[in-house]
Structure 1
Amino acid sequence: MSSSSLLDLRQTLHQNPEIAGEESATAEKILAFFAKLNPDQTITNLGGTGLAFIFKGKNPGKRSLFRAELDALPIQETGDPSYKSQITDKAHLCGHDGHMTIICGLGEKLAEQRPTSGEVVLLFQPAEETGEGARWILDDLQFQQIKPDFAFALHNLPGFPLHQVVTRKGTFAAGSTGLTISLIGKTSHAAHPDAGLNPAQAIAELIQDLPMLPEKLKNFALVTIIHAEIGSLTFGTSAGKGSLSLTIRAFDQADLESLIEMITSEAKKIALAEKLSCEFRFVESFAVSKNNSDAAEIAEDVIKNLGLDIMIKPEPFRWSEDFGLFSQSCPSYLFGLGAGENCPQLHEPTYDFPDQLIVTGVNVFEGIVRAING
């Protein structure tokens, strides 16, 4: 298939975005594309709308997995490409349309020339943006059939030169989680606050204390307060409940877990002192994305042989990627592909995946396949 038909696929995907957990029509389009490629095995409804296509070699060998994301964002596109999103308030503003197209292009290469050994798994996961999809995939019993020896993924990166590969060994991107702490007391008349249990003081203390907790850790970690709410706009009533929402992030998975532990125990301690009950709700949890040194070596040899410019990033990225969960379960490698210095940032309403990256992405992934599976 020509690169122009990959271009058509990318632009069709761009016009028809679906958000996390709703990607069934997107999955149908990918399924139709692979029907022509005759993979040796197809797994559907993997972790919900997920798909896996398996290309097998004649000889035994390693199983390598390459991942793309199916979901778009719940944001209105304001750019004006000819293939602009046709769905109000939904758009591919993170480039998952491009990432899917790259994995489809890799599928074409594998259909033309099967691997000689082992198996290559092309995985399309749902709900990357919410940090749920990787967990759904790993928890699906069907995943046991495709549990890989190595897993690979890329993400396009605006702000870096077009086609530049951005990488590092060890942590590539932070782990993070959203947390809402709910404090429940008792309302009373505003003239008699002492007759109630108002969470205002506790929330004020948490706002002061929690962002300081990362200082107790050696590596980078961050607590960002994103939302607070106390009572209601009823001037005769002393508040009886409130909540505080924060984002917690760290470069090390153990640090992330101990920071969560510190935050929850601090909140319980303050709630107890104020005679409040306390509940926790975690959302959008992403594991740390960690690059395995063996996987990195294989990939970086390929990247050098392709003559691509490599930038070794001194610090991990502070954002998170759902691929991190794969990296916590098998040797993995996630790298960035520069989308151009003047490309709008990810999640901006004018962002559009640069189509020039399709061939670059396919070439890197095919090189990795040939290095591992022949």
Structure 2
Amino acid sequence: MKTNNWQQIRHQLHQYPELSGKEQSTAEFIRLQLESLQPDRLYTRIGGHGIAACFDSQKPGPTVLFRAELDALPIEELNCFAHRSVHSGISHKCGHDGHMTILLALAAYITTNLPDFGNAIVLFQPAEETGEGARAVVADPIFKQLNPDYCFALHNLPSHPMGLVMIREGSFNCASRGLTIKLTGKTAHAAYPETGISPANAVAELIQTLPSIADKLSQEELVMLTLIHCKLGEPAFGTSPGQAELLATLRSESDSAMRDLIESVTRQCNTVAQQHQLSVEFQWADIFAASHNDAECTKRIENAAFRCGQPVERLNEPFRWSEDFGAISATTNGAMFALGAGEMTPQIHNPDYDFPDELIATGQQLFADIYRQLLHES
């Protein structure tokens, strides 16, 4: 691997993005890069297209895992630079191309600074954007072989100063999930609506009451329900509707609060449906666990930032956005941090976003310091 041109590697990853669960070519590219570094063990097809390399000291000590994401987003890129996405409607608009490059740079560093004890693992995880990838990785038997004692991840974050390290003990970002509520009654002629069972009044009631459930559920932490879409019947003037769908996003600081929110929301929907003689069905999507930062791991990130000369901001509250690293950190001691991507950089998921190349060295240096703290003699 030519370790002196990480920008070129990042641009190649950016140019050939793949959607969640379809990261075959990306994983193969990563595999070839890792194979050239001659790790002690190389694992493939973890939880789908996941791939991991292990650098083993053959001496007792902790196993430390660093994670990046493989997948891109279904967003058409507006940028016109040479490394723009070649795939119509697909692009790296969350910076996973940059995160992967940082982890490859870390792996290259480890090969020339092998652990004095324990094991170092770099994990490239599939399907983060859908919330499915980390759960699939953790459920894979290979993850039990990896068996990390510590895990770390980062995420770039525009609208914050370049290189600012944002950390927090406890809840770091929120649990979230999408909910589709399907209400079914009975269609009727619009001239005789009394012969059918319309879900219109039930939908109106739920629109009024569901957000307030979240508001009243907890005063100790953030709990939210955001209504995002509603469909009632069909655009047919001769028909009184018999079906309706209401979509919402549920969000909370902790997984326990999410369980309480789910219970309260489904109970309210069942009550309203029964009152209006409707059947109700629930469908869930984009399920993300909350990410909880271990105190020791958070302190190690802070120490790394100080030694690398990066400014640090201790957050007073967790980020509202979700990230499925929480499924990995729930299995062991772990922490995630946000890395400022520049105040003028377009927001992630915007069609004109591009990961800033200057963050590659910063991210690698921070991870390398954490690695040295845990797997090198002081």
Q: TM-score range by the shorter chain?
A: over 0.9
Q: Is the 8 A contact 1:10 1:98 kept in 2?
A: yes
**What is the distance in 2 between the residues matched to 1:251 and 1:112?**
40
**Identical pairs, percent:** 44
Question: Structure 1 residue 248 and structure 2 residue 242: aligned?
Answer: no
**What is the distance in 1 between the residues matched to 2:326 and 2:320?**
13
Q: Is the 8 A contact 1:63 1:150 kept in 2?
A: yes
Partner of 1:258 in structure 2? 260
Instruction: Select the residue among 299, 324, 329 that pairs with 2:326.
Output: 324
Amino acid at match of 1:10: R
Q: TM-score, normalised by structure 2?
A: 0.97
Partner of 2:74 in structure 1? 74
Q: SS in structure 1 opposite 2:114?
A: coil
Partner of 2:271 in structure 1? 269
Alignment of 1:49-198 (within 5 A): 49-198=49-198
Q: SS in structure 2 opposite 1:60?
A: coil
Amino acid at match of 2:265: I
User: Structure 1, unaligned stretches of length 5 or more?
Assistant: none
Alignment of 1:301-340 (within 5 A): 301-340=303-342
Partner of 1:284 in structure 2? 286
Shift of 1:329: 2.2
Partner of 2:213 in structure 1? 213
Instruction: Select the residue among 289, 293, 297 that pairs with 2:295.
Output: 293
Partner of 2:345 in structure 1? 343
**What is the distance in 2 between the residues matched to 1:300 and 1:370?**
14
Q: Is the 8 A contact 1:64 1:150 kept in 2?
A: yes
Question: Structure 1 residue 222 and structure 2 residue 227: aligned?
Answer: no
**What is the distance in 2 between the residues matched to 1:184 and 1:329?**
40
Q: Is the 8 A contact 1:57 1:373 kept in 2?
A: no
Shift of 1:30: 0.3
**How many residues matched?**
374
Amino acid at match of 2:179: L
Q: Is the 8 A contact 2:35 2:42 kept in 1?
A: no
Q: SS in structure 1 opposite 2:338?
A: strand
Partner of 1:45 in structure 2? 45
Q: Deviations 1:345-366 (Å, cap 9, x if unpaired)? A: 0011110000111111111111
Shift of 1:215: 2.2
**What is the distance in 2 between the residues matched to 1:137 and 1:75?**
25
Shift of 1:62: 0.7
Shift of 1:27: 0.3
Q: TM-score, normalised by structure 1?
A: 0.98
Amino acid at match of 1:340: G
Q: Is the 8 A contact 2:300 2:373 kept in 1?
A: yes
Q: Deviations 1:57-83 (Å, cap 9, x if unpaired)? A: 131111111000000010011012221
- Range moving further from structure 2, 1-10 or 87-96: 1-10
Q: SS in structure 1 opposite 2:262?
A: helix
**What is the distance in 2 between the residues matched to 1:20 and 1:197?**
40
**What is the distance in 2 between the residues matched to 1:44 and 1:364?**
26
**What is the distance in 2 between the residues matched to 1:302 and 1:95?**
22
Q: Deviations 1:237-276 (Å, cap 9, x if unpaired)? A: 1111111000010112211110111001100111111111
